[in-house]
Structure 1
């Protein structure tokens, strides 16, 4: 399970260094292959096996319009890559532009994948989310 957030920088070549503890966890659980794609709110980064499992579910979406939309946006913007020797992955320019990433970003653990946000958008999302957090948290069945 991936959790926590890390404020990072995307370099001038569009590379993001994955923190060492996350690289080790990825390697142990999934290997070095990742898929970087467009999510509904941010860029999402999936271990390749998780991405492929999700992709296999897309043809099962009964509503044709929703299925085509997910195919185009989730699959059509996906780039599979491998963590390089320095622990970095490339974030495609198209995705960086679509989500206005810039260089100052936050990598967020989201259970089985990561979210990649611009720092400013992450801060705004957290501020807005605070107003609904108590209600959402109450949905957890925690003893």
Structure 2
């Protein structure tokens, strides 16, 4: 069984006036591994899901991971409300792009404007995907995480959250 690469870590990168930004090197390796058409000398493709107006970040999927999501959507009852909503959020409100030879991508103005990115972008690994945030928004989300942790007992271990049965949002 082959080892599956994951997106881990966080980093902040400059965004130039044309919207070009470097992808973290460790993320590029995961993108390569998750693109079935990638070989040495080619640029890996991936999918950016920008979603509805409530989404504060861009969610980036490897080609294989996005195909797994698409397969699950395609298996749903055609014409159902759930399928239509998922098609709109993950298929319509997404774009396929590639990493260039220098390890950068171009974030179109529409996507930069949507989440408020101007001079810098915050990258955050999320195992199967990675996220691109406007840095101040990311910091506010991290502060909310710290506040949640501050409310817990002294012996609280975050790994206990893995044992939660319900899908309740924290």
| TM-score past 0.5 threshold | yes
Conserved? CA contact 2:57–2:115, under 8 Å? yes
Distance 1:58 1:120, change over 3 A: same
CA distance, structure 2, for counterparts of residue 10 and residue 136 of structure 1: 37
Unaligned runs of 5+ in 2: 1-5, 39-43, 164-170
Higher helix share: 1
Q: Match of 1:82? A: 98
Larger mean CA deviation between 59-68 and 110-119 belongs to 59-68
2:133 to 98, 111, 117: 117
TM-score by length of 2: 0.71
Deviations 1:117-138 (A, max 9, x none): 0000000011112222457922
Q: Runs of at least 4 residues of structure 1 off by over 6 A?
A: none
Unaligned runs of 5+ in 1: none
1:83-98 alignment runs, 5 A limit? 83-98=99-114
| Larger-gyration structure (1/2) | 2
Distance 1:104 1:131, change over 3 A: same
CA distance, structure 2, for counterparts of residue 34 and residue 124 of structure 1: 27
Deviations 1:11-40 (A, max 9, x none): 211122112233234324544111111154
Larger mean CA deviation between 47-56 and 126-135 belongs to 126-135
Larger mean CA deviation between 76-85 and 37-46 belongs to 37-46
